[in-house]
Amino acid sequence: NAGVTQTPKFQVLKTGQSMTLQCAQDMNHEYMSWYRQDPGMGLRLIHYSVGAGITDQGEVPNGYNVSRSTTEDFPLRLLSAAPSQTSVYFCASSDGYNQPQHFGDGTRLSIL
Amino acid sequence: RKEVEQDPGPFNVPEGATVAFNCTYSNSASQSFFWYRQDCRKEPKLLMSVYSSGNEDGRFTAQLIRASQYISLLIRDSKLSDSATYLCAVSSSGYALNFGKGTSLLVTP
């Protein structure tokens, strides 16, 4: 049982480059979310989705885009990477309203 | 003000000690509450959900006091393997979580 799978595990980008962080879950969960974790800031919600075709912004959405074309996949796109987006990114999913979230093992992203 | 507040610690305790973590939340409409554990450079893992009636899982006891918007986690008989960061998480929307910054615990021999 793979759970929530994130790729890549590590990535280094130059300022201005774009990239997509991949997230896939095999648990048929409706709800998926993206968080970033920075020292001293804790986990902060970037975007979330309550089902295919439905997404919404979280606490820190600027500079990121998401889409949800299937139940399984929830990619996070950085349109023009900035050093402030250096962080650890976690994808999570849950199987219903008010249910706990289950996390992937993260993507460590550095923007130079 | 952050929606979920925790004492950052660190808490340094000897093996066998009892340690308590506290968490407060600002949105009285919050509907679900959790404690997560996060090891260094790893993903958060669900430790337990928190209910108003209080709930226990082995050495771990969680409590929610809605009137005070307060959540607690008690760890009895601490083990070296309990060393980690403990994250309080609250859901106001039902769809995603707001996390505290975490409380660091170090259990020493």
Q: For B40-71, what is each residue's pLDDT tens digit? A: 989 999 999 998 888 999 999 999 999 999 99
pLDDT tens digit sequence for A80-91: 999 999 999 999
* Residues in chain A closer than 8 A to B99 (CB atoms): 35, 42-44
Query: Is the pLDDT confidence value at A78 over 80?
Result: yes
| Average pLDDT of the segment spanning A66-74 | 97
Average pLDDT value over all residues in chain A:
95
The C-alpha of B109 sits at a distance from chain A's nearest C-alpha, in angstroms, of: 27
Nearest by Cα to A97 from B64, B65, B91, B71: B91
- What is the spatial distance between Cα B88 and Cα B46, in angstroms, rounded to a whole number? 10
Is residue B98 within 8 Å of A42, Cβ to Cβ?
Answer: no
State how far the alpha carbon of A38 is from the alpha carbons of A33, A53, A78, B15, B36, in Å. 17, 29, 17, 30, 17
Interface residue A39 vs chain B (CB under 8 A): no
Q: Band the pLDDT of A47: cuts 50, 70, 90.
A: very high
**pLDDT at residue A42, rounded to an integer:** 87
**Largest Cα span, chain B:** 42
The C-alpha of B51 sits at a distance from chain A's nearest C-alpha, in angstroms, of: 12
pLDDT less than 50: residues of chain B: none
State how far the alpha carbon of B41 is from the alpha carbons of A39, A76, B103, in Å. 11, 21, 15
